[in-house]
A and B are shown apart, each in its own frame.
Chain A
């Protein structure tokens, strides 16, 4: 399949029309998505209309936006005015976005075509897409396997060739883990780099929109298309200057975490692939250094306290009155109970309960506050590592994709899927997952994560690109 960059060039040089590119994708979706189920809704009509508008602009001699020719999918938690948005939850069924998220605005302004909204774990809580209230998305490489999650629909859509670039949201690994399971690229930008305005919040201090693509070049394009300060998001970064300039892999210092291979649950093939990757990188002239990451093991519990606490508050507005599901009940309390009882799935309820408890009077200090201290500690420890190294390399997830039903009844084992990605969100830094190697028995892909410090997003993508080209 052609990359977004190639398609944009083809449109520029007049070899292809945006309508043709869009139609090709729509055709492929029609033929193949019934097996994959990556889309909750395909925006056939509006995508074609937008494509025709762009083509008309071009034929009238005007210069189209810089994304003319690129086709995007968005996760079902990014608002697109006039379209339904559900976060794959029953509680939002039928809710129509009344405004555009900043990310969607930026895409449309630059003449991107948005082809549909993708499936996800309900409210971005999960690692397999099995928590969607609507669809089970399959891994396009082998449909017995999950695509990962929560941005599993976006990962599958990219892998299956239903769009050039898809956006996901990443709170603890929701872009990088499915990217790794589907053998594609996925990136979580530095916190505050992409506006969260119009992204339905899961955990506000951790959420970040990011691109997923088949190549590092498209990943960079997808990142640049949506990055930047937004006055509507008070947590977005005002400073717009990227840090670090990429020259060569040679001479870079890449840190690996000591004793990580001994981690319980880490697949043996993955450990082997990992050391294979390290030797290749070091042969490119990069220096591999081993570092301690003492607080690593506390990241997962701290994350589940903090993310669930914020989620319990963020999801409280879904009460059955103003949007989506609205069931009648004899009184106010019963209306809350009925709508929330029937509207939310079990994983969402589990996290609301966990978060509500962590914030309750008498428990706040022991849970929320302690987790916040862990978060600060992790931030500092990672800062220290970045004072000695340019990047940190880990696997993206302890295993390659698992099969449907394998972990859905064991939340803790599901949560472990994000053990490597979570510290990145807690520290607010940037990281990406790129594909390398496979599990021998079934050829399912492995993904590796590279982390960089704040605002080094472009440096990160370019370095990873250079590495992957040399592999």
Chain B
């Protein structure tokens, strides 16, 4: 029997902000000692009141726009009530029936869209510590540093069908949120947390199966593994004719299986109601327009444009659009150059030379590439190569020379003698030498094996230190065949 899985994801993203959601406490450093970034507001002292962080709101608007959501001009904060030691007010300020954003979508590489049901603002809870290092405690400690940090909850529609799609959705989401500068989305640091809702049904069945929620997935891989394991568990139950309980489960990484945390009967009644301490959040058109401007064209949209307008490959388009800094460098190239051949050469240089540099030097994305090699210089190298003034091997060498160097490529060609030689006499000498050094290859070549010219051309290039124009080398070879 074939089954279909119906999967929806709830993502909590920590919004990058200098201060917390409702107080002026600075966002704690990752290694801040416990309970050092706290105040009466975020620890829920009697009498303390929330005051909204406008920067976090602006970030949330950017994220919502990047997720193609409709923005609600008047959204309402609500209290989600439940008792737990990590929630000092015994309610979380969140949004409920009037969230900031609704009806968005995220495109997967396959072209499939996953709809975003809603995105809303809320505050994070504190961290419970059940162990100190490797030492298990017989009590629980609470660190309130994280308490009150701004979160954006993004809820997808149940459009996801496989663990792979879930993985891709998470990957795309991360790209978008990083692009919009909303969050670093570092799962290890808890910037992004993921809950999965999942049910299965026999293929073709219109009715939904019992929904199971999996909580606390702390990596994209954990999400993928948990979904796979859960699909397997549900299928087995189904085939045995047993009922799938509508419960909340936790992913156990060690056991590689989900474990029931609470049943439906034990589900919380959160008793949501409008937060009386905060007036409705009313957004001005200017604010939304400003956010739109800051996000600009999304990576996916850029990639599409690069492929259709500049005939880039999928891989090139993706590489040149995902990262904000590389993209702005590339956009600069695009604005400086209108020649298609030069652009092609420039893209080749970026894909090979520039990325190699970035990997080699472990250049962080926020460091400016422009400082090491200006777009103008890169284009000049590409142009010299297209015009045949330097060989492609020389172009690579030239790139190395110009990196972190104020020398202009033209000047560097002169100084380092990289100019491609068009002197036929000189090249003929080199070819002769090459033929006598590779007699077998030459015989093969004479017998019609075009590929056999390779070692001979290689010899010439080496001998000429890359200066010989390979085109002329080929022509001479054909002549003497």
Contact = CB atoms under 8 A, between A and B. Distances in A.
B40 A98 contact: yes
B273 to A, nearest CB: 6
Contacts of A92: 46
A171 B276 CA distance: 13
A391 interface: no
A201 interface: yes
B277 interface: yes
Interface string A366-396: 0010000000000000000000000000000
Contacts of B272: 359
A200 B40 contact: no
B47 interface: yes
B48 interface: yes
8 contacts: A95-B46, A99-B40, A101-B47, A197-B47, A204-B277, A235-B276, A316-B90, A360-B271
A321 B85 contact: yes
Interface string A49-86: 00000000000000000000000000001110000010
A77 B46 CA distance: 9
Contact of A317 (B44, B49, B50, B279): B44
B91 A234 contact: no
Given A99-B40, A234-B279, A361-B271, A317 B47 contact: no
B89 interface: yes
Contact of A196 (B40, B49, B279): B49
Contacts of B277: 201, 204, 234-235
Given A317-B89, A356-B271, 13 more contacts: A78-B47, A197-B49, A198-B48, A200-B46, A205-B276, A234-B49, A234-B51, A234-B277, A235-B276, A235-B277, A309-B273, A312-B81, A317-B44
Interface in B232-273: 269, 271-273
| Majority secondary structure, A binding face | loop
A359 B278 CA distance: 19
A121 interface: no
Interface string B260-300: 00000000010111001111000000000000000000000
Contacts, number: 91
A356 B268 CA distance: 13
A78 to B, nearest CB: 8
Nearest to A335: B85
Nearest to A233: B49
Interface in B71-87: 79, 81, 83, 85
Nearest to B41: A232
B47 A234 contact: no
A66 B81 CA distance: 44
Contacts of A130: none
B46 A232 contact: no
Given A313-B79, A313-B271, A316-B89, A79 B49 contact: no
Contacts of A336: 83
B45 interface: yes
A458 interface: no
Contacts of A200: 46-47
Given A204-B276, A317-B88, A368-B273, A323 B40 contact: no
Contacts of B271: 312-313, 356, 359-361, 364
B59 interface: no
Interface in B5-58: 40, 43-52
A364 B269 CA distance: 11
A310 interface: yes
A79 B47 CA distance: 7
A332 interface: yes
Contacts of B91: 313, 316
A199 B47 contact: yes
A316 B46 contact: no
Interface string A169-202: 0000000000000000000000000001111110
Nearest to A100: B47
A232 B269 contact: no
A231 interface: yes
Contacts of A232: 49, 51
A316 B40 CA distance: 16
Contacts of A87: 46
Interface string A324-351: 0000000010001000000000000000
Contacts of B47: 77-79, 97, 101, 197-201
Contacts of A97: 47
A322 interface: yes
Interface residues of A, number: 44
Contacts of B88: 317, 322
B interface residue count range (under 10 / 10 to 19 / 20 to 34 / 35 or more): 20 to 34
A233 B50 CA distance: 7
Given A234-B52, A323-B46, A356-B271, A317 B278 contact: no
A205 B276 CA distance: 5
Chain A to chain B: the 7 pairs with minimum beta-carbon distance, closest first: A316-B90, A205-B276, A359-B271, A204-B276, A198-B47, A200-B46, A79-B47
A364 B46 contact: no
A218 interface: no
Contact of A231 (B46, B51, B79): B51
A359 to B, nearest CB: 4
A435 to B, nearest CB: 31
B361 to A, nearest CB: 46
A319 interface: yes
Contacts of A309: 273
B381 to A, nearest CB: 56
Contacts of B273: 309-310, 313, 359, 364, 368
Contacts of B90: 313, 316-317, 319
A77 B90 CA distance: 20
Interface string A200-242: 1101110000000000000000000000000111110000000
Contacts of A361: 269, 271
Given A313-B79, A313-B273, A234 B50 contact: yes
**Which residue, of B45, B51, B91, B272, has the highest number of chain A Cβ atoms within 10 A?**
B45
A359 B276 CA distance: 14
Interface in A15-43: none
Contact of B43 (A322, A332, A359, A364): A322
Contacts of B81: 312-313, 316, 359
A273 B191 CA distance: 67
A204 to B, nearest CB: 4
Interface string B82-102: 010100111100000000000
B277 to A, nearest CB: 5
A317 B46 contact: yes
Contacts of B46: 79, 85, 87, 92, 95, 200-201, 317-318, 323
Contacts of B45: 98-99, 323
B474 to A, nearest CB: 77
Interface string B436-462: 000000000000000000000000000
A101 B49 CA distance: 11
Contacts of A85: 46
A321 B272 CA distance: 24
Contacts of B278: 234-235
Contacts of A318: 46
A316 B82 CA distance: 8
Nearest to B22: A234
B32 to A, nearest CB: 20
A87 B47 CA distance: 11
A313 B78 CA distance: 11
A371 to B, nearest CB: 11
Contacts of B43: 322
Contacts of A316: 81, 83, 89-91
Contacts of A205: 276
A178 B44 CA distance: 30
Interface in A293-322: 309-310, 312-313, 316-319, 321-322
Nearest to B80: A313
Contact of A319 (B40, B79, B83): B83
A145 B77 CA distance: 44
